[in-house]
Structure 1
């Protein structure tokens, strides 16, 4: 028994020693800690992966929503908007995520498309701790990825000035390429327009050459220092190009009515006046009519020099509130649609966009006009109108025309007046009276009495006086309205000059009146008529400066300026690049590419807006 107790005691002691050693032994302790840390790192890293997967899925879902709603809201989209959204999701492999039917609201001038999508994304690593706490509970935690998008294309209040070069260089293929490009631009911009006061686009078309013709629409609404009644083009002081205002109530000088005959053959009356008559190449103001604008575009006729600054002056003027009074008057005359009443709006309105589209194929050239004397005074030419009192002067034959060659200094009696009679049977005469036909020459006394009695009528502004017996002293403006520039000098003045009846330059002679008194008479400079055109109204450099200043003021006012250089030379390209709102608003094109440029601009004007 004693031995058994000893053995038991000895075994217990040994076990105690083993347990004591095991308790104190630290071998393997790091393995447990490492396993714990590995699980934690795996869990935290995995959660990052889950979050990255979530963000990637969310971005893809939102991107698909945005692209789908933008495409569906495009007013040019011909497919049903809801189907467009679904098609985008199908092709992205996400059709199952689309949450219900897309919402579509649309009208004549707007379309709104909204859509929502939702997807559940299981988190692969988020539930790792559950393996230790709930090892027999299946299923993974999931996050819901959702997104919404709404896109809107709405035709807000837009005012456009389409400024088109119709100078001589636009002849041929250039004008033929411009017409469809401009027509398509008008159609695109005015598509889905509405007759409501809000959300309306209007276009003013301003053709320009060396001048801009306001046409008959503006005839009674401009304060012109009129020198004739043939056309309505005006000149602007250079200082006015420092402002986009266009106050038509202020007096403006009148462009003379003449044809320099540089680009045309002989014609009577003049075939291509420097300022077009009637509504030829005239402004179409504040229009919503595709038909009216297309008709005006098709009728454009190239002629004359290039004055980009003049086209721009009218273009920005028709976007400036300074012309609102005139526009409202045109509304009352049914020239401008009533829905456009109150335009042009102020520049700082949030929902109003003003746009200029300026096109040229050239560069600024010299702007001409008649010299002042030929704009406002009477000529040397006298006409017998007895057979046709109201007819055009160019219809009166040469044998009823007289050219005054003497007697210019007398103001109360006319005994010393002398006249050169134009052709009759190849002969020429000088007489003391105006010629009558046939052979019914008025006596000198009858002529003097008629002059002393005074004029019995002036037909219109700028015309010369008519006297008893249908004798008419034409103004220079009448002469230039009936004969081309060189026809006056070579067909009418050449004969008396060649016969020695008028001097080449100004001179002086002694003249005796009916009382025997001698007077030193200074002859006029007939050769002025050979050089009657003022070649320095505005030159290239001045016009470029005026254009640059005007464009700067327009940009400051918030007007968006697109420019199109159509096969233009370097100087013209530089001027348009300087004028544009930015280099991306400038187009340099040739041939039929002008259509692409106008299409791109039209698309910008109707740009989509992502609303939320």
Structure 2
């Protein structure tokens, strides 16, 4: 019985122990604690590994950049080893492959090295690329508890410097506001000249004996137009030819033929459609801007007519106001500097026209013209650019655009597009087509020899003056008043009328509109020739009455305007066309207070390639652009 009682008591104790849960939380806490230690240890191991990886990544990046520098004389493996040791990694081994072959002179095999780096360098004329890979093994402090003794982390980097052929169009504003003071205290154009020459120093580093990688720069100065220059226009289709005059005047004998393109100006008139294309081809028909002075404080030559396309024709009338032409693909800094120093400021602003020429000089369509200039030893375009502009980058031919010629435009302005003046549609008005039509004006061939003399019917009771050389033909008048000679523009008493029989036919010659407009600005020509005599021939020429001023009608017949809105549209079109061809466009707004939008819109990647600067900051902008062109690029 006693034994049976003891057995029952023991059974009750066993059952109580089995149901007793006291102390269970301690076991659970131990498991949680172990898990927390593992998670914290994992974070510590990862943090330590990442810190080491970041140090090695930074070291590899710096070493590849330094080794890829074309001016670097040390071998890539020596640079890599030196960088790692300087960073505190003493036990490192670098394996170097150079241009696909093992390079033996760097390092000694160290199988137990803490860090092994494989370096591959490829270099040739004008480029060097360095790639590096390393696999580092970092011992773990906590993760080895779960069987992970090491963490293997791959690190890689690459850098490249490549001096490719570079073509640059520097398109710069030389409008009147560029003559205003800058915030620097100097004029804006002074700051432009200085910054541009510093830019040339940075980017034009051509080896005279090495044509494998050349930088050429074209300069396109613009105001309300662009002076192309006869050398370039002679290679393009802008000279026209001789055309027959329709229904020439025979009594007295007049012009029977004229030149279809005047040769007084080398500026080109573009239509909106022209801005949709980057190309100007040698066969493309170009229309020269009309030779006229739209307005002037002066009345007539000889000294101060402000022509829309102000050319220096070795004539004292124009030399003071002549403008520099486009400089085509130069490779010598001295030539570029000298051209920049000739820039002067005046006129309105036509950013679109400047950009059109800047882009055209990078488009391969104009290459035959550049080749002709480069092959002509009498023209200072270097022979080494006779294959420029190069073809655009074609992705199907080359995977890397930098394997091809880099094409760059630097576009600078200090304002916004303003009004441009041009010519009307050809034959829009029947009485005037100043491009290629005879004018109803004859001139004495040797009028100056008559100064101080009296000539019967031709005498005006005074010495002969410049205004005595012109005769106006009025076919609608009677025979006795068929010819009109304006007298002193300040009086009306000595104007003369003549019959056809009184005209010395062999001593006069008919003028065309271009020659006539070379002597007078538009307003004054209208007033001098026709204001007094208008009532006599308005029915013939289509003019109405004196209440509707003659000069306004004449001016309207030959002048059209491109307003700022159309110019902005043109600019947007040509910039988009250039970007589509892979041309890099840097835009500089120099103390532009309003209207930055068109320039930002033009630049590659918008704000990333647009610089808003003032004063001496323009030099900083040019320096940043030069650095970006030349920069050493991390490519991985």
TM beyond 0.5: yes
State how far apart, in whole Å, the 2-side matches of 1:191 and 1:420 are.
62
Moved more, 330-339 or 205-214: 330-339
Alignment map for 1:232-247 (pairs within 5 Å): 232-247=266-281
Alignment partner, residue 568 of structure 2: 544
C-alpha spacing 1:345/1:480, structure 2 compared with 1 (3 Å): same
Alignment map for 1:343-358 (pairs within 5 Å): 343-348=389-394, 350=401, 351-352=403-404, 353-358=406-411
Is structure 2 residue 414 aligned with structure 1 residue 361? yes
CA displacement, residues 440-482 of structure 1 (integer Å, 9 cap, x when unaligned): xxxx5672xx3xxxxxxxxxxxxxxxxx34x344333223323
Task: State whether residues 97 and 117 of structure 1, in contact with CA within 8 Å, keep that contact through their aligned partners in structure 2.
Answer: no
Alignment partner, residue 599 of structure 1: 623
Aligned to 1:404, which of 471, 476, 483? 471
Task: State whether residues 264 and 271 of structure 1, in contact with CA within 8 Å, keep that contact through their aligned partners in structure 2.
Answer: yes
Is structure 2 residue 606 aligned with structure 1 residue 580? no
Is structure 2 residue 221 aligned with structure 1 residue 178? no
Shift of 1:108: 8.3
C-alpha spacing 1:550/1:426, structure 2 compared with 1 (3 Å): closer
State how far apart, in whole Å, the 2-side matches of 1:379 and 1:305 are.
32
Task: State whether residues 506 and 523 of structure 1, in contact with CA within 8 Å, keep that contact through their aligned partners in structure 2.
Answer: no
Shift of 1:57: 0.7
C-alpha spacing 1:484/1:44, structure 2 compared with 1 (3 Å): closer
CA displacement, residues 538-568 of structure 1 (integer Å, 9 cap, x when unaligned): 2222222222222222222222222222223
State how far apart, in whole Å, the 2-side matches of 1:313 and 1:268 are.
33
Specify the structure having the higher radius of gyration (Cα): 1
Alignment map for 1:380-391 (pairs within 5 Å): 380=441, 382-385=443-446
C-alpha spacing 1:78/1:164, structure 2 compared with 1 (3 Å): farther
Alignment partner, residue 373 of structure 1: 433
Is structure 2 residue 493 aligned with structure 1 residue 432? no
C-alpha spacing 1:222/1:42, structure 2 compared with 1 (3 Å): same
Alignment map for 1:194-593 (pairs within 5 Å): 196=210, 198-224=212-238, 225=240, 226-262=260-296, 268-270=302-304, 272-277=306-311, 280-334=323-377, 335-348=381-394, 350=401, 351-352=403-404, 353-369=406-422, 373-375=433-435, 376-378=437-439, 380=441, 382-385=443-446, 398=465, 401-408=468-475, 416-420=482-486, 428=494, 430=496, 432=498, 444=501, 447=504, 450=505, 468-469=506-507, 471-485=508-522, 488=525, 492-493=528-529, 502-503=532-533, 505-508=534-537, 528-529=550-551, 531-532=554-555, 534-571=558-595, 573-581=596-604, 582-593=606-617
C-alpha spacing 1:488/1:90, structure 2 compared with 1 (3 Å): farther
State how far apart, in whole Å, the 2-side matches of 1:272 and 1:567 are.
27
Task: State whether residues 202 and 340 of structure 1, in contact with CA within 8 Å, keep that contact through their aligned partners in structure 2.
Answer: no
CA displacement, residues 60-102 of structure 1 (integer Å, 9 cap, x when unaligned): 1112220343356457999999999789668755577585689
C-alpha spacing 1:113/1:506, structure 2 compared with 1 (3 Å): farther
Moved more, 213-222 or 110-119: 110-119
CA displacement, residues 410-434 of structure 1 (integer Å, 9 cap, x when unaligned): 99x9994343455999983525389
Structure 1, unpaired ranges of 5+: 1-20, 131-140, 390-395, 435-443, 451-467, 510-519
Q: Over the residues paired in the alignment, what is the CA RMSD in angstroms?
A: 4.8
Structure 2, unpaired ranges of 5+: 1-13, 95-105, 108-118, 181-186, 241-259, 313-321, 396-400, 425-431, 451-462
C-alpha spacing 1:425/1:419, structure 2 compared with 1 (3 Å): closer
C-alpha spacing 1:432/1:44, structure 2 compared with 1 (3 Å): closer
State how far apart, in whole Å, the 1-side matches of 2:89 and 2:206 are.
33
State how far apart, in whole Å, the 1-side matches of 2:211 and 2:132 are.
30
Task: State whether residues 224 and 347 of structure 2, in contact with CA within 8 Å, keep that contact through their aligned partners in structure 1.
Answer: yes
Shift of 1:231: 2.1
State how far apart, in whole Å, the 2-side matches of 1:93 and 1:602 are.
36
State how far apart, in whole Å, the 2-side matches of 1:522 and 1:105 are.
76
CA displacement, residues 176-232 of structure 1 (integer Å, 9 cap, x when unaligned): 111112222222222366765544332222111111111132131121245322221
Task: Normalising by structure 2, report the TM-score.
Answer: 0.68
